[in-house]
Structure 1
Amino acid sequence: MRAYSIASPAWDDKLEFYSIKVEDGPLTSRLQKIEIGDTVLLGRKPVGTLVLDALLPGKRLWMFSTGTGFAPFASLVRDPETYERYDEVIVTHTCREAGELEYSTRLVNDLINDPLVGEMVVREDGSSRLKLITSLTREDHPIKGRITTLLETGELFDAAGTAPLNPETDRVMICGSKDMIDDTAKLVEGFGLTEGSNSQPAEFVVEKSFVG
């Protein structure tokens, strides 16, 4: 058994998952070879902490992700409720190599044509309410560095064209490796944001089923 974030939106009648292929992985070594007609066993009850109800109302929603940690955000950026709650949505995706950004870049670029949320993503003046900011750690890229470094230096906010995180207006979701989540959460707390939960919504939330 392995925990996988569901990448498809809540309204979809199909389940979509986003994973890397690990040759000797206990699950992915087999999962990458499945064919139509094969059986995959799923747990009956989905669980997770990256839900909108765990956050207080705000103006701007940030989604910080590394690697396959982009998966839950692939779901949320296709959910109409996200745009009903926030005026602006900014997704960051940090990977090692450029090829790992293909999925997130393609999904966000195609979202303008989405029949359900396409019109919600675009403002009346033609600007987009959704931004994707990508960075790499091992290859040359317009933005290079870990998300923690970009937060510390302020380069992230320069790229987004926003002020630094503000607990009055900004809400944050974090998903990646355990170390990435821990380090990023500490930085977010340094901006004055408090971690929330379903029972006690606040300014940021992290994924507890560690991925990518």
Structure 2
Amino acid sequence: MTDAVLSSPPAKASPFHELKVLWVKHWTDQLFSFAVERPEDFRFRSGEFVMIGLPGEDGGKPVLRAYSVASPNWAEELEFFSIKVPDGPLTSRLQKIVAGDTVLMGKKPTGTLVLDALTGGERLWLIGTGTGLAPWLSVARDPDTYARFSQVIVCHTVRGVADLAYRDFFEHGIHDDPLIGDEAKAQLRYYPTVTREDFVTPGRITDRITSGAAFADLDIEPGFRADRDRVMLCGSMAMIKQTAELLDGFGLKEGSNAEPGDYVLERAFVG
């Protein structure tokens, strides 16, 4: 009798990338951004989200949350924009990361906040609240955005002026982007609003749309038209639902990856 040679079963591939943190920027005591190295085989469409997390404590399961990729699809690093929740299962720990640390990232990006989910139009509205700005940082730096739309309007609503993270970037920095700087200077408009402090454009974006103030501020024809306007929504559930109802009232149709339409929202973030 000969001894049977027993081979170990192949190790199961991990569903996560383990990625080094490249930098961290704290905007306020409630907001921060960070970037990680990009795996060579990682491909995504601008506007998609991916699962980000940290290993579980004391050997527990990893803690993961969905995060929109704030980098454009051509970038060499992957950037993310996050809130800080003191008692949050993930962000209470994630906000403490520093360059050189390791975070987990899922291997399968997905989402509907992509150009493929919209039909053709003239004007693209990117409407977000809080960290719902993240996908617009990606879409607004994608050359395809400016090839498909003659005008791009980034709307960002926050509570306080200090919460307008990336304000300087949208007002100035994006114009120096080597890939889309000239297009952004000619075609991009940035429209911030603040709800709880004095500001040149105060209030919720939904209220300013309803009153017509947003259109007046931007010096464009009031209202949305299905033959011209395309809209993406990301942020608070209340804003998304209210704005979607407004768009429905103007005759715009919700789109998806399977059936492109006039506006899209990310249902992964909507209850």
Question: In 2, distance between residues paired with 1:25 and 1:62?
Answer: 31
* Aligned match of 1:134: 192
Amino acid at match of 2:128: S
Amino acid at match of 2:264: V
Amino acid at match of 1:66: T
* RMSD over aligned Cα atoms: 1.2
SS at match of 2:243: helix
Q: Please identify the structure whose Cα radius of gyration is greater.
A: 2
Aligned partner (choices 234, 254, 257) of residue 195 of structure 1: 254
TM-score between both structures, scaled by the size of structure 1:
0.93
Q: 2:207 matched to 1:149? A: yes
Deviation at 1:139, TM superposition (A): 0.3
* Aligned match of 1:168: 227
Amino acid at match of 1:107: F
Amino acid at match of 2:111: G
**Cα-to-partner distance string for 1:125-166 (whole Å, 9 max, x where unaligned):** xxx310011111100001111111111111111111111211
Amino acid at match of 1:208: R
Kindly report which structure 2 residues correspond to 1:8-19, keeping only aligned pairs within 5 A, or say none: 8-19=71-82
Aligned partner (choices 173, 181, 184) of residue 121 of structure 1: 184
Deviation at 1:21, TM superposition (A): 1.6
C-alpha contact 1:90 1:131 (8 A) present in aligned 2 = yes
TM-score between both structures, scaled by the size of structure 2:
0.73
SS at match of 1:181: helix
Could you say which structure has the higher helix fraction? 1
SS at match of 2:78: coil
* Aligned match of 1:125: none
Question: In 1, distance between residues paired with 2:98 and 2:125?
Answer: 36
Question: In 2, distance between residues paired with 1:2 and 1:140?
Answer: 33
Query: Aligned residue pairs: how many?
Result: 205
* Aligned match of 2:32: none
Identity across the alignment (%)? 52
**Cα-to-partner distance string for 1:68-95 (whole Å, 9 max, x where unaligned):** 0000001111110000000000010000
Question: In 1, distance between residues paired with 2:184 and 2:141?
Answer: 9
Q: Which runs of 5+ in 1 are unaligned?
A: 123-127
* Aligned match of 1:209: 268
Q: Which runs of 5+ in 2 are unaligned?
A: 1-63
Q: 2:137 matched to 1:74? A: yes
Amino acid at match of 2:191: I
> Which protein, 1 or 2, shows the higher relative CO under an 8 Å CA cutoff with sep ≥ 6?
1
Question: In 1, distance between residues paired with 2:206 and 2:181?
Answer: 31
Could you say which structure has the higher strand fraction? 2
Amino acid at match of 1:135: T
C-alpha contact 1:74 1:107 (8 A) present in aligned 2 = no
SS at match of 2:66: coil
Deviation at 1:39, TM superposition (A): 1.6
Deviation at 1:101, TM superposition (A): 0.6
